[in-house]
Amino acid sequence: MSSLSGTRSSAEREVKFAVPPSFRMPSFEGVAEGVKASPRPSEKLSTTYLDTDDFRLARWGVSLRRRVGEGWTVKLPADHNDSLLVRTEHTFAGNYTRPPVEAVDLVRAFIRTAELRPQASLKTLRRHVELHDADGKRVADVVDDQVSVVEGRRTARKFREVEVELADDTPTRLLDDVVDRLRQAGTSRPDPTPKYLRALGQRAPERPEVRIAKIGSKASAGEVIRSALARSVVRLIEHDPVVRLDLDSEGVHEARVATRRLRSDLRTFRSLLDSAWTMALRDELGWLANLLGDVRDGDVLLERLRRPVAELPDADKQRVVVVLGSAQAMRDEAQRALIATLRGERYFTLLDSLVVAANAPPLRSEASSPATDILPNLVRGPWRSLAKTVKSLPDTPSDAELHDVRIRTKRLRYATEATAAVGGRRARKLARRAAELQDVLGDLNDSVFAERWLREAGSDTSSASEAFAAGELAGLEWATADRCRASWRRVWRKVSAPKLRRWI
């Protein structure tokens, strides 16, 4: 179950085919060893898809539908593994005519302030066959849908679609066998086009709302900037539902990285962008990054605390239950504050601004020059800032000073990655080295934060055993931090190798 009230989430792994009306479905009996086919009674389905008038959901590969008798379903962007589509669908109970608030919440980042309206109405005759293994367990479904798209009182067009959907734990090799049987019966290659897009016909949008352009060797600086911004905007918007569902801590992590990378790229490219626009957008991104950071700090703290706790004897684990509970409470409070923000106008306005930034940032005239002529120079600033900061450190720098090094390392890494298309092999290697240094210093920062939090938690409790447990965990974090303090210069020497900077 999702953390959104009334939501049921399920994984979907399928292959889709567009087939002609004359296609004859083959038998699947014995399609693989021990597999039996069981035809099920046919069904008549009535489905309505909602979207904005400019088809924002369709442009993002998202759908929101109401199916009579089944309630509302949201399907988020799919991952493609060859011809296999992998996506999670979220179903909301209820047969009301308006979508539930929780369903709209899940697609809010894609539609922002635009209104949802019915865009396609489908009548479907569904025939399907269940495949079972030798033990009678369902391993797959083969679904044959004959679809009529209804406009008013008339049928505007028809199409037919065949889907093969695997059960959760079914090996993909069965899929290969079923697909081979379908291909032998005359299907063409798998076609991942969603049913909703087929239903739209000529109205279906041809381009995503934010397109990540491929950068060639002759790209202009402006093209590189647009591509870099678009990549992070897509990353942020696509992870918005993951943050809201709160089922995977990587959602917050990915959204936070996207906001930080956007801020860094705007800083790197600021000489090629309108300055007032850049400053205002960076400020708003900083506001969002701080909220995401509060939740991410809680996630990292919990992850760090759970690792040593898992190795303790059962009797000792009881002493740290309250400590973990306090960390969880802190994290959950930050999550509630974040979700409240994600439902506000300020956030929607920021996302609208980011979509504009990804598609048409306010570039200065110099940005039309070849990227190879301009962008390598823009990496020199982050490099010189980092090198100067490291050079000025005392023999035993403070944790605060090393945190500053980490921030500057991250700027160098992001600037290098943003321009790697024109920097080539050395740029990519410099970015990898910077990432290694960032990881070491990030581990140090996380350990320092965890140690400080644990010592405060130990001093706040009236239980001697809980205080002792917090102290033990704090000692482990101190040891980890000390190892990072001892090792970061070795990694720095790799980052500072002169040959990695010849391209700038």
- Structure confidence by residue, pLDDT tens digits, 421-436: 888 899 999 999 999 9
Distances (CA, A) of 359 to 95, 354, 363: 38, 9, 11
Torsion angle, CA of 368/369/370/373, rounded to 10 degrees? Answer: -150
- Predicted pLDDT at 1: 41
Report residue 85 as tokens: 């589509």
The pLDDT assigned to 3 comes to 52
Could you tell me the pTM of the whole model?
0.91
Residue 19 to residue 13: CA distance in whole angstroms: 20
The DSSP code for 461 is -
CA–CA gap between residue 323 and residue 340 (Å, rounded): 26
> CA 501 from chain center: how many Å?
32
Return the beta strands (E) in 95-187 as ranges.
117-132, 138-151, 154-166
Res 83: pLDDT: 74
Say how far apart CA 398 and CA 451 lie, in whole Å: 15
Q: Where are the alpha helices (DSSP H) in 79-136?
A: 101-111
- Answer whether 165's CB lies under 8 Å from 141's CB: yes
pLDDT of residue 295: 97
Give, for all 504 residues of the chain, the pLDDT tens digit.
455 555 677 778 899 999 999 999 999 998 998 999 999 999 999 999 999 999 999 999 999 999 998 899 999 988 876 678 888 899 998 767 889 999 999 999 999 999 999 999 999 999 999 999 999 999 999 999 999 999 998 999 999 999 999 998 888 889 999 999 999 999 988 998 999 999 999 999 989 999 999 888 889 999 999 999 999 999 999 999 999 999 899 999 999 999 999 999 999 999 999 999 999 999 999 999 999 999 999 999 999 988 877 766 676 677 777 788 889 999 999 999 999 999 999 999 999 999 999 999 999 999 999 999 999 999 999 999 999 999 999 999 999 999 999 999 999 999 999 998 888 899 999 999 999 999 999 999 999 999 999 998 888 776 787 788 788 889 989 999 999 999 999 999 999 999 999 998
Percent of the chain with pLDDT strictly greater than 90:
77
- The answer to whether the CB of 333 falls within 8 A of the CB of 295 is no
Rounded to whole angstroms, the Cα distance separating 393 from 441 reads 15
70 three-state secondary structure: coil
CA 449 to chain centre: 26
Residue 210, exposed/middle/buried by CB under 10 A (0-12, 13-18, 19+)? buried
pLDDT of residue 9: 78
Token duo for residue 241: 């539902």
H-run or E-run covering 75 = strand 71-75
**CA distances in angstroms from 61 to 66, 262, 370, listed in the order given:** 17, 23, 33
Strand partners, 160: 19, 146
Q: Catalogue all structural domains in the chain, each as residue range(s) with its CATH number.
A: 7-203 (2.40.320.10), 222-501 (1.40.20.10)
Burial label, 315 (beta-carbon count in 10 A; 0-12, 13-18, 19+): exposed
Alpha helices in 214-274 (DSSP H): 221-245, 250-268
The candidate with the shortest Cα–Cα distance to 160, out of 125, 201, 197, is 125
What does the alpha-carbon distance between residue 185 and residue 373 come to, in Å, rounded to a whole number?
56
Q: 3-class DSSP state for residue 482? A: helix
